[in-house]
Amino acid sequence: MTDLSIQKRLASEILQVGRDKVIFDNLRIEDISQAITRNDIKELIKDKAIRKRIFKKQKSNRKDNRKGTGSVKLRVQNRKEKYMAKIRKLRRYLLEIRENKTISRDEYLYLRKLAKSGQFKTRKHLKEYLVTVMKKTIENEKANKNTIQTKKAK
């Protein structure tokens, strides 16, 4: 049997696979041994005397390629970027409110902690929370004033 290592190397380069994945047709080995140039090998590939081996395992696992640890990093990175964009908007809004003296420093710090923990989904959600909390605090202050006035009147 003749040495077909040169033909195997040329075929692997043309097919862009490893040498182990190149298959020669047993009936055409004489033609393959006569092939010396790349063009000869390309013609034999067209005639299907030389072909590449495809493993069944490779075919079935192509869907699973995206499940590696590298793709997990991307998902975490995307989640982090979304969180950062959201939290920056919320913090900017809270700073703006604090500078307008709408909320006190303590309320600002408390709301900032809530935002960090993911309590608010959007800026609108934060505004709604502020409205409900502000109403409750105003009602509490009015109730406190009424109790103080009634105690003074007694």
Reduced to 3 DSSP states, what percent helix, strand and coil does the chain have, rounded to the nearest 5? 75, 5, 20
Give the chain's domains with CATH numbers: 5-54 (1.10.1650.10), 64-153 (1.10.1200.60)
- Spatial distance between the Cα atoms of 47 and 16, rounded to a whole number of angstroms: 18
The pLDDT, as a whole number, for residue 39 is: 92
* Each residue's pLDDT tens digit, 92-128: 999 999 999 888 888 899 999 999 999 999 999 999 9
The percentage of the chain sitting over the pLDDT mark of 90, rounded to a whole number, equals 39
- Spatial distance between the Cα atoms of 24 and 44, rounded to a whole number of angstroms: 10
Q: Which of 117, 119, 127 is nearest to 94 (CA)?
A: 127
The residues that bridge with 22 in the sheet, in sequence order, are 52
- Using a cut of 0.75, tell me whether the model's pTM lies above it: no
E strand residue ranges, 12-109: 22-24, 50-52
- Spatial distance between the Cα atoms of 71 and 63, rounded to a whole number of angstroms: 13
* Each residue's pLDDT tens digit, 38-94: 999 999 999 988 988 887 665 555 666 666 666 677 778 888 999 999 999 999 999
